[in-house]
Amino acid sequence: MQRKGIVLLITIALLAILTPLILISLGQIKSTTIHSQNNKIALSSSLFLENIINLLQQKAKLIQSNKDLDSFITSMNFYYSGTDIFFELKVLPVLDKININNLYFNQKKDPYISNFILNLTEKYKLNDGNYLLSLLLDTIDEDTDERATLSEIKLQKPQFRNGLIVNTMHLKKIMQAYYNQTLDPSIFNIPWEKYIYFGEKDTRNIIDCNIVSDETLELLGIQLTHNSRCKISKNSKNQAIATELKISPFSKNQAYLVDVQVKYVNDKTEEVYHFIYDVNKQHIEHLQRVWL
């Protein structure tokens, strides 16, 4: 199939599923600047990725309600597979999960997320939940003071990154460090993707009460005694947790995050990108290229 034919097929697929896009030559490379809070991420990428980002922005502008949000997430999940090309876009909500980096919030341990982690380690029968908690805290903070013996990984591995848990690969290194010291294989049984995401530090994004699971709320210490999870803050025993962690429904007035994964493959290129996208503020956090 000739290059023009490939471009035509991509354009037709996107027109049919989403919204009009103009994909010029897929081989052409240009520089795109993306604003992420106070930083500018210089990204050298294909026009394909740039058009996906533009599409996210166009569709996000239409979101006014929970129903619009559901439609956005549903419509933005698609793939196309042809003879010489494959691409896939996945958009998943993250605000049914806990931002693991807020375990250390405003220079101190967050009591509610700490309790969440300890409840999680108890659920999956870890031998030493407190040691795992220390490993996580010592990774997220920026100093090299140990909370427990050998809990500061950077002291043993100077190239290890402190100050933030960046992604799943980074978390796996922490899990391995826990296993190396405890020989407890239960650490590998925790399905972290069900419970956490890797957001910015010291930023309270809501936990969406319409989509968060009962299990996650119970691990946070929320007592579920009513039909509507969006009324949990009316229970005095839950009020402090719900207020502090911003457990609330979708609103146009506050940040609302989704997890975006983009994969593009042709006969010469294989590119995978991952980032967190705020559909209200229309900006990107933690843009990463995944090297396969």
The reported pLDDT for the residue numbered 42 is 33
User: Sign (positive/negative) of CA torsion 92, 93, 96, 101?
Assistant: positive
Give residue for tokens 């042809």: 82
pLDDT at 98: 96
> What is the reported pLDDT for 22?
27
User: What pLDDT was estimated at residue 223?
Assistant: 85
Nearest partner of 221 among 149, 118, 90, 93, judged by Cα: 118
By three-state DSSP, how is residue 114 classified? Answer: helix
User: What are the structure tokens assigned to 152, written together?
Assistant: 């500061």
d(CA 16, CA 115): 47
Other Cβ atoms less than 10 A from the Cβ of 77: the count is 13
Neighbouring CB atoms inside 10 A of 20's CB total 9
Per-residue pLDDT, 96: 93
Q: First-to-last CA distance in the chain?
A: 26
Q: What is the mean pLDDT of each run of 10 residues along the chain (292 residues)?
A: 42 40 31 35 53 85 87 84 81 92 95 97 98 98 94 95 92 97 97 93 89 93 77 77 90 86 80 86 76 48
Give pTM, 2 decimals.
0.77
CB atoms within 10 A of CB 59: 19
- Collapse the DSSP code of 8 into the 3-class scheme (helix H, G, I; strand E, B; otherwise coil) and give the result: helix
